[in-house]
Amino acid sequence: MSLVKDFKQFLLRGNVVDMAVGVVIGTAFGAVISALVADFLTPLIAAIAKVPDFSGLAFTLNGSQFMYGHFLNAVISFLLVACTIFFFVVKPLTTLIARTKKAEALDPKIKTCPECLSEIPAAAKRCAHCAQPVA
């Protein structure tokens, strides 16, 4: 019975559940990004470059065929996915986090005691650590 209890405890630990949720959300997000790249950005580049697919590009050397077009497709797809994630996820989230930190800095919820340098609530009139009055 202890083995089942230990296994249940292992499964219900926060980091295992968080990781499982992250994998599921990451998979779903990957599908959205792949669809954006395949259905919108790749056709846009194809319309501009007038070459929709490079997979037919190859050269032959001593009877061996090198399909460098497939490699070009993979590199272009990777770059499009990386740019999409950077410009539509990382950059907006970085901006949002910076705004949030700026707003928190303007309205601090804690202050430092001038006597003992401990952090105390901003509304406190006395330090909880050294009992000195705080302005």
Taking only the tens of pLDDT, the chain with its 135 residues reads 688 888 877 777 767 777 888 888 888 888 887 788 778 877 887 788 777 677 788 899 999 999 888 888 888 888 888 888 888 888 998 898 888 887 766 667 888 888 888 888 888 888 888 888 887
Exposure class string for 98-109: b at 16+ Cβ within 10 A, else e: eeeeeeeeeeee
Question: How long, in residues, is the chain?
Answer: 135
**Number of other residues whose CB lies within 10 A of the CB of residue 47:** 9
Q: Is the pTM of this model over 0.75?
A: no
Q: Which CATH superfamily is domain 2-108 in?
A: Large-conductance mechanosensitive channel, MscL; domain 1 (1.10.1200.120)
Q: Is 131 left (phi over 0), alpha (psi -120 to 50) or beta?
A: left
Q: What is the DSSP letter of 59?
A: E
Q: Which of 52, 84, 58, 85 is nearest to 71 (CA)?
A: 58
Count CB atoms within 10 A of the CB of residue 62.
4
Per-residue DSSP letter, 112? E
